Amino acid sequence: MGFCEKIKVPRVICDEIFYIEDDEFDISIGEIRVPPGSTIAGTVTVTVLECDPRIDFLLNRIFADVVFMVQKELTITTPEEELIPLEFGFRLERALEYRKCFPLELEAIDPDFLVDLECQVIFVAGTDVVTLTPSTIDPETGELLKDATFDEELTIQLKLKLVQERQLIMALCDPRHGVNINVTAENGPAE
């Protein structure tokens, strides 16, 4: 008699890689004078805070409403090696549309496919290109103005699965489906 085991498994309903763009231009640095020849570098940390599946039967689309936390720690280095730290964070919200997953087709196969869906984040990656525009010089006084800005082009790569947890009864190997075979050795001719 075979044995059975009850297991929980995620059933994958949709699986896709998304590219999210967040480009901002002429971001003011504020009351800081940034001399020409300065550079900018740093780290951007992107975290998924929320991910909620949403089904739109009228559009025949499945969406993932995602909220990211974007934390930036940038440092401007002047030609004189002075360091000017910039730190800020913000929430970034996007409705991501699955392009290969259609609710009407899934419902026709099995209506339960659209019940209790959950987001599963597989990975988050990305690139961030920051371009610094230093302060301009006041033509009358020759002093640096406080008009420095930077441009930012953030691209987030996000692999998301929409899954549904299922309980399955799995049969372990039935002894009737396998066999142990004894090995017999034949000895060569006697000398």
**pLDDT, tens digit only, all 191 positions of the chain:** 456 778 888 889 999 999 999 999 999 998 899 999 999 999 999 999 999 999 999 999 999 999 999 999 999 999 999 999 999 899 999 999 999 999 999 999 988 889 999 999 999 999 999 999 999 998 999 899 999 999 999 999 999 999 998 877 777 666 666 677 788 777 766 66
DSSP code per residue over 78-140: -TT--EEEEEEEEEEEEEEEPSS--HHHHHHH-GGGGSS-EEEEEEEEEEEEEEEEPPPBPTT
Cβ-contact 35, 144 below 8 angstroms: yes
Question: Whole-angstrom Cα distance, residue 75 to residue 72?
Answer: 10
Reduced to 3 states, what is the DSSP secondary structure of residue 175? helix
Global pTM reads 0.79
Question: What b/e readout covers 34-58, taking b as 16+ CB neighbours within 10 angstroms?
Answer: beeebebeeebebebeebebebeee
**pLDDT tens digits for range 74-109:** 999 999 999 999 998 999 999 999 999 999 999 999
Question: Whole-angstrom Cα distance, residue 97 to residue 116?
Answer: 18
pLDDT of residue 1: 44
Question: Whole-angstrom Cα distance, residue 62 to residue 83?
Answer: 46
pLDDT of residue 173: 66
pLDDT of residue 180: 73
Question: Whole-angstrom Cα distance, residue 108 to residue 114?
Answer: 11
Question: Whole-angstrom Cα distance, residue 143 to residue 83?
Answer: 20
